[in-house]
Amino acid sequence: MVASSDEINFEQALEKVERSLCELKDRYAQVQRDQQQIETLQQQKTDLQSQGKSPTLKAELREIEQQLEELELNLESRLFSWSGLKEVFWQAVRFGGLGIAIGWSLAFITLKTPTPNNSSTPSSLSSP
How many alpha carbons fall within 13 Å on the CB side of residue 7?
Answer: 4
AA identity, residue 80? F
Structure confidence by residue, pLDDT tens digits, 17-39: 899 888 888 888 888 888 888 88
Cα→Cα distances 106→101, 112, 115, Å: 9, 10, 15
Structure confidence by residue, pLDDT tens digits, 29-65: 888 888 888 888 888 888 888 877 788 888 888 888 8
Residue 87's pLDDT is 76
Which DSSP symbol is given to 118?
T
Structure confidence by residue, pLDDT tens digits, 96-121: 888 999 999 998 888 887 666 666 55
